Chains A and B, each alone.
Chain A
Amino acid sequence: MKINNISREKEQDSFLKGIISDGAHPLPGVNIILKGTSIGTATDFDGEFEFPQRVKEGDILQISYLGYVTQEIKIKKEQTKLNAILTIDMKEDVSCVLMGEVAVNDAYKSKRSLWQKFKNIF
């Protein structure tokens, strides 16, 4: 029974771990998903994660967080090995230019000069 436990722990150790930051600080809540599936995990408060299953060479991981540029990482052979650690820097997506408009239910009124408003009274 004991032996069994140890071997399972060993297996757990071999899952891919990593740390994700924005270059300066660790980023919590970043998703690490095996591309084309819903298998994956998210980083904790220290920006660290452990992938929930063994990764194979050639697997693609999508690293995604709203507002940051999504990254796709192809797993290399050495990253499938024991205690492999992935470090990733996320970059904020700066391509977004703020424009502003949303729909409002209001009707158009032409702008009138003071004189036009005054004339209207009569």
Chain B
Amino acid sequence: MRLFSLIFTLFFCLILNGQPLDFYKSDFKRADSIANNYNNNTLNNLPVLVYNLTSNLDTEVEKFRSIYKWVCTNIEADHYFGEKTIRTRKKYKSDNISFMKWNEEMQSKMYKKLLKDKKTICSGYAYLLKELCALANIKCEVVNGYSRTINTNVNKIDIPNHSWNAVELNNKWYLVDATLASGFFFVNENRFIKNYNDRYFLVNPELFIKSHYPLDYKWTLLKQQINIDDYVKAPLIYGKRLKHNILPIVPERLKTEISKDESIVFKLRVSKESQIQDFEVVLSNGQSYHVTTSENYSYKNGILEFQYHFKRRGIYDLNLKIANDIIVSYTIKVNKLSRGKNLLSYNL
């Protein structure tokens, strides 16, 4: 009986991970095709855009889907404006008055750029989604907070740096992120790549909190409290983990210290055993890269477990990849043998 309930729970978790909460993807075929019909529409006339996107749809969720999908597939992320905003936020971290003055000036520029080039930063995506929803009588709020990137909110709280949305459908609140769903800035080619990621639509709040920590805690939509300190110290996870349905479990921190005679254990929730052969461990000591595939692993109840042993001490960045997408990063500091540790504590 216990086994049965465990399997049932796991099965249930998989459904939660794979589908938008409470709805099935198949419900959105019509909404998606309507959004697609108005591709390349301008933002010059928002009420008519909303009318076109929603008037032939019956339910609130379909109307929202159509608007959301249009925003995700038609608006481009403005990487350099984003970087500039982050730099300014960091600069004025403890000077709110100066920041708000800058914000007031830049706000108009952001609107103009959004209107003219359909290019913007997270706050523009969130703003536009809110405005379009308001025209369709759908309650949608902008949520500001901390997201974790390779440069910000890693191991320590830097600044609030991201905006996303909460939307009320059939009297229940849901979370979406149109910015991250739209695509990504491809560093190698210095341009934005449109690449719609459906997993940011009505995300399970328990998964969302791993990458989105709101300024106002009520927008986590969670009952349990999660400390922001634990949030910034967790391993760094990437958006693609949602696509591959993988949830890193152990180690719980980005930084782990071990001694040379210890091995480090990794545990991840992986939905399909067949995915394991696509796993890759990329190790870097800051100088050279080393790619390995682990053969010593176990897979039980949807949990993949494997160990890694470092032969030399040093600081290593360890990235787990699946099918060439990075899922999670860790930093592992390998110290001298434990004997050294004992000596040290003796001295103290």
Contact = CB atoms under 8 A, between A and B. Distances in A.
16 contacts: A33-B48, A40-B48, A64-B135, A67-B115, A92-B107, A95-B142, A97-B163, A98-B106, A99-B160, A100-B83, A101-B161, A102-B77, A102-B82, A109-B286, A109-B317, A116-B286
Interface string B138-152: 000010100101101
A108 B150 contact: yes
A42 B51 contact: no
Q: Indicate the size class of the contact surface on chain A.
A: 35 or more
Interface stretch (B23-31, B179-187, B259-267, B300-308): B179-187
Interface of B: 43-48, 51-52, 77-79, 81-86, 89, 103-104, 106-108, 110-112, 114-115, 121-124, 127-128, 131, 134-135, 142, 144, 147, 149-150, 152, 154, 160-163, 179-180, 182-187, 193, 236, 239, 255, 284-287, 314-315, 317, 319, 326, 329, 331
Interface string A20-45: 00000000010101011110101000
Interface of A: 29, 31, 33, 35-38, 40, 42, 62, 64, 66-67, 70, 92-110, 112, 116-117, 119-121
A interface secondary structure, majority: loop
Contacts of A36: 51
A100 B121 contact: yes
B122 A99 contact: yes
A88 to B, nearest CB: 15
Most chain B CB within 10 A, of A98, A108, A109, is at A98
A103 B315 contact: no
Nearest to B106: A98
A105 B326 CA distance: 9
Given A67-B112, A98-B106, A120 B314 contact: yes
A104 B185 contact: yes
Contacts of A104: 79, 149-150, 184-185, 187
Contact of A98 (B110, B182, B186, B187): B110
B85 A98 contact: yes
Given A66-B131, A70-B131, A101 B104 contact: no
B48 A31 contact: yes
Contacts of A95: 142
